Amino acid sequence: MDFPGEKLVIKLWETLTEKGIGALLSPWQAAREGRVRNEVRRHEILMLAQAETDAADIRSGKKQLRPDGTLLLTSAAGILPAADERIEPMLSLSAAVEYGSRAAAAAAARSEINATKAILFAEEQLATDSQIPSDRNVDEDWLFAWREHAGKVSTEDLQRLWGSVLAGEVKAPGRYSIRTLEFLKMLSKGEAEMISKLARYVIDGCIVSGQMEYIASKGLTFSMLRQMQELGVVSGIEAIGLTRTYKSVVESKFLRALVSHSKALIVEHEDASKKLDFEIYTLTAIGRQVLGLGSFEPDIEYLRLVGKEFARKGFSVRLADWREVSDTQGQYSNALEILCDAPPAEA
């Protein structure tokens, strides 16, 4: 292999092989190296498409799965009675058993295909990530819970979602709890859209409540925030005086980077003992994990408004591009100063 996420992809396949997951892809694991990797992937996608067709044929009775794993063409209509033979209503136990066996085989095949597609999406995501893999292993119970949930989704969007969950867990085992897997399993499309809208206004795991008027003007109303609190994504919606306070991360001056996806507010002050505080609504642990699955673009005007709010407190604030280096570190570039519209308040 020779691509940015080589080590993470190796970690993924070591994890899956050890637990016997992703069996449909195992014949091609040894060939997933160098320039042939994309060719192998194309072959696997075609193989999965054929497998889906076979599973549908088994379910409809057009094909029969034999004990040796081969498929036998059958007649979906079965044997018709003679023209002069009277048909009496009856329960055929053998027919029920045959149908049940067909349905079970088709369901098992469909589950394996769905999970396999999610694995391919996880590999696709990890292949472009140069992060060093963790020394820790993915928990066995977590992996089998993931396999069960991923096997139940058949749309590409949801398969990509479960692929992102697996990729994130391989990068940092323990990042996503089993409780979060259960939450994702029950998430509706409408709820997912609300969470995506919320994501644009998250800075360092919280929403600055002082900018609620602007946020509401963009369609994220207070009522929607209450709904997301009921879901367990945010907290503090109806609290009074919920405040976050930041101290400096360096000794020589006050310095903090408040990250919102691909951007960051770089907040500075010459007084190292200075503290930055502001009122917030905060993401829950599940909320942080769920938002960590997506790729979102922040609302730049919202970030500028928050930056001006900090500038009025006497801080120097810049809006910059942000690149995550690891789970705890990042780098900023192209920083532009944000000026407040009024003189800074007295400290």
Q: Is 154 helix (H, G, I), strand (E, B) or coil?
A: coil
Q: Has residue 91 been placed in a domain? A: no
DSSP reduced 3-state for 193: helix
Q: Are residues 153 and 215 in the same domain?
A: no
Q: How many residues does the chain have?
A: 347
Query: At 126, which amino acid appears?
Result: L
Q: What is the mean predicted confidence (pLDDT) over 256-285?
A: 95
Residues 135 and 179 in one domain: yes
Same domain? 324 vs 201 = yes
**What's the pTM value of the predicted model, to 2 decimals?**
0.70
Domain annotation covers residue 84 = no
Tokens for 323, please give them: 């690149």
Task: For residues 19 and 149, state if they share a domain.
Answer: yes
Same domain? 182 vs 196: no
Kindly tell me if the per-residue pLDDT of 42 is higher than 60.
no
**Range ranked top by mean pLDDT from 152-156, 192-196, 313-317:** 313-317
Indicate whether 195 and 159 sit together in one domain: no
Same domain, residue pair 56 and 181: yes
Asked if the model's pLDDT at residue 79 lies above 50, the reply is: no
Specify if 105 maps to a domain: yes
- Other beta carbons within 10 angstroms of residue 50's beta carbon come to 9
Q: What is the pLDDT of residues 112-125, one digit of tens each?
A: 888 888 998 898 88
Query: Could you tell me if residue 345 is inside a domain?
Result: no
Please give the C-alpha separations between residue 72 and each of 69, 106, 198, 305, in angstroms, as whole numbers. Answer: 10, 14, 51, 66
Question: Which of helix, strand or coil describes residue 104?
Answer: helix
pLDDT digits (tens, 9 = 90+) for 321-333: 998 876 677 889 9
Q: In this structure, is residue 299 part of a structural domain?
A: yes
* Residue where a domain terminates, one of 142, 168, 186: 186
Considering only residues 74 and 166, tell me which one the structure prediction assigns the higher pLDDT.
166
Which H helix or E strand runs over 113? helix 93-126
Structure tokens at 288: 């942080």
- My answer on whether 126 and 226 are in the same domain is no
Is residue 178 in a domain?
yes
Token pair listed for 54: 């076979």
**pLDDT top residue among 260 and 33:** 260
| 148 and 41 within one domain | yes
- For residues 328 and 85, which has the higher predicted lDDT (pLDDT)? 328
User: Is 344 contained in some domain?
Assistant: no
CA–CA distance, 248 with 268 (Å, rounded to integer): 9
Domain termination residue (choose one: 156, 186, 216): 186
Average pLDDT, integer, range 149-154: 90
Domain boundary among 170, 186, 202: 186
Residues 31 and 168 in one domain: yes
Q: Is pLDDT above 80 for 94? A: no
Residues 6+ apart with CB under 8 A from 245: 275, 276, 277
In this structure, are 226 and 265 located in the same domain?
Answer: yes
Tens-digit pLDDT profile for residues 210-266 = 999 999 999 999 999 999 999 999 999 887 668 999 999 999 999 999 999 999 999
32 backbone dihedrals φ, ψ, rounded to 5°: -85, 55
What local confidence, expressed as pLDDT, does residue 220 receive?
A: 93
C-alpha to C-alpha distance for 186 and 184, rounded to whole angstroms: 5
Q: How many domains does the chain have?
A: 2
Q: Are residues 290 and 328 in the same domain?
A: yes
Q: How confident is the model at residue 344 (pLDDT cuts 50, 70, 90)?
A: low
Question: By residue range, what is the domain housing residue 123?
Answer: 6-76+96-186
Look at residue 310 and give its three-state secondary structure: helix
The mean predicted confidence, pLDDT, of the chain is 81
**210 part of a folded domain:** yes
